[in-house]
Structure 1
Amino acid sequence: MTPALWGRAWHGLAWLALIVVLGAGQAHADDGLPTADLTVGEQTLTIEIAATERSRRVGLMHRDHLPGDHGMLFVWARPAQYGMWMQNTRIPLDVAFINADFTITNIATMTPHSTRIHEAKRPVRYALEVNAGWFEAHGIGAGDRVQDLERVLGRSD
């Protein structure tokens, strides 16, 4: 192999290694988030808790799958009309916006890779993302209270 050909091959391998490393970092951006079991209605979800600016920004981006009994809870310090979007999110999700007394204000279904913002109808402190259709399949809607959230937040809020 000539030095020029060897240099091009090495350059290509270096780029491939960089792409693999960066891709792996994005796919596992959720590592290290606190988790808890949360009862919603009569169903139990294993949730990851996104309570920092970075974890809320990344959310469920770059994932190819979310198990049916899993979700992500977004926690903010003070109530506001927060919005969610699906940029870089590959799986269809529902988001339930939850106010400070743990009542669901509204639920939105979100499409993968969309930049459309889905907003809480009233000020909320929490949002719960699950696979699209999960809330409807379990008969959970606006006005329902997530009573178990108080217990979960006692450990993480």
Structure 2
Amino acid sequence: MRVTAALLVACLVVLSGCLGGLGSGELLQSGKQSTTPTTTDTESNVSAAFVTDNRTAVTLEVANSPDERARGLMFRQSMPQNHGMVFVFEEAQSQSFWMKNTKMPLDIIFIAPNGTVINVEHADPQPNASDSELRSYRSDAPAKYVVEMKQGFANRTGIKPGTKFVFDGDRPSVEN
């Protein structure tokens, strides 16, 4: 019985390490600050694409609850190519993000409800900045979705205002 319990504990430790990386950029408007790294549920990934002259497929972690949106990609050291996070909001509205506790530079892509890219911001970490010194990155119009990718993604793939963004399957919805 002791061997079975020890084996079960060892399996749980290994499985918990496989569930994902640590969270990034934090939403200004949420009013919440999360400084505790948390694992990401890989089952909440969605497939999507940016459509320019070509179709660029991406895999996105979904941040659709207040806590997930506040945590974002905080503390994350790296991400695979064409992998990022989509922030999902109930209503399209002006969105504002900052890079609190974000370790890697990001492209922040603001997207209208109809899937059109509104604007792209190239955000850099500010490791020693106080909250009042952190730069904010804003949508130029009401956005329902915001996608964060490794900085350079938008330039490499030609994503700019007017580019179409589509989900492969159902659009993720907001959780309360």
Identify the TM-score tier after normalising by the shorter chain: 0.7 to 0.9
Moved more, 62-71 or 108-117: 108-117
Alignment partners' CA distance in 2, 1:33 and 1:76: 19
What's the counterpart of residue 155 of structure 2?
136
SS for the counterpart of 1:90 is: coil
Alignment partners' CA distance in 1, 2:115 and 2:75: 29
Residue number among 126, 132, 156 corresponding to 2:145 in the alignment = 126
C-alpha distance 76-33 of structure 1, shift in aligned 2 (>3 A): farther
Q: Deviation at 1:44?
A: 1.2
Q: Is the 8 A contact 1:34 1:48 kept in 2?
A: yes
Q: TM-score normalized by structure 2?
A: 0.69
Q: Tell me how many residue pairs correspond in the alignment.
A: 131
Alignment partners' CA distance in 2, 1:28 and 1:70: 18
C-alpha distance 120-150 of structure 1, shift in aligned 2 (>3 A): farther
Alignment partners' CA distance in 2, 1:129 and 1:68: 12
Report which of the two structures shows the higher radius of gyration computed on alpha carbons.
1
Q: Deviation at 1:34?
A: 0.7
Give the RMSD, CA atoms, in angstroms.
1.9
Q: Is the 8 A contact 1:93 1:132 kept in 2?
A: yes
AA matched with 1:91: M
SS for the counterpart of 2:41 is: coil
AA matched with 2:81: G
Moved more, 25-34 or 36-45: 25-34
C-alpha distance 111-33 of structure 1, shift in aligned 2 (>3 A): farther
Residue number among 83, 96, 120 corresponding to 1:107 in the alignment = 120
Ranges in structure 2 where 5+ consecutive residues have no aligned partner: 1-21, 24-35
Q: Structure 1 segments of 4 or more deviating over 3 A?
A: 24-29
Ranges in structure 1 where 5+ consecutive residues have no aligned partner: 1-23
What's the counterpart of residue 76 of structure 1?
89
Identity %: 27
- Greater relative contact order, per chain length (Cα 8 Å cut-off, separation 6+): 2
Q: Is the 8 A contact 1:38 1:152 kept in 2?
A: no
Residue 54 of structure 2 corresponds to residue 36 of structure 1:
no
Moved more, 93-102 or 110-119: 110-119
